């Protein structure tokens, strides 16, 4: 689901301008500090692999389901998808719903995995 049309990419860029993105290298620190990882990909994508302990709430249902997953609107959350666009859109939606501590992973799961593969190779 990485082939998005121009309108989708425009909306993602607008969302990205309103939210805070964190570098893939910062994700583990945020999760260890108690942030909830929200994988906004579709369930079939999530089933193929995700971040440890990530909760799957697909982008198209996030406004209906997030309160059941994260009821505390001040809880730290890190949203992500495969490449960063849907994660940014989800973070923007959550801010609109009143969540106050929402971030998105720059580059999504691919960015996270690439940063960790680089780290492991240099160890």
Number of continuous H segments (helices) and E segments (strands) in the chain = 6, 5
Q: How confident is the model at residue 118 (pLDDT cuts 50, 70, 90)?
A: low
Query: How many whole angstroms separate alpha carbon 81 and alpha carbon 73?
Result: 21
Instruction: Give the end-to-end CA distance of the chain in Å, rounded to a whole number.
Output: 33
pLDDT surpassing 60 at residue 69? yes
Mean pLDDT of 89-108: 97
Which domains can be identified in the chain, with CATH numbers? Answer: 6-122 (3.40.250.10)
């Amino acid at each position: 689901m990485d082939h998005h049309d121009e309108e989708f990419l425009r909306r993602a860029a607008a969302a990205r301008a309103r939210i805070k993105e964190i570098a893939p290298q910062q994700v583990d620190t945020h999760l260890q500090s108690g942030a909830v990882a929200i994988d906004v990909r579709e369930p079939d994508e999530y089933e193929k692999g995700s971040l440890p302990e990530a909760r799957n709430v697909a982008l198209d249902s996030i406004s209906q389901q997030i309160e059941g997953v994260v009821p505390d609107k001040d809880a730290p959350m890190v949203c992500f998808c495969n490449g960063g666009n849907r994660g940014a859109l989800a973070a923007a939606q959550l801010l609109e719903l009143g969540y106050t501590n929402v971030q998105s992973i720059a580059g999504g799961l691919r960015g996270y995995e690439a940063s960790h593969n680089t780290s492991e190779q240099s160890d």
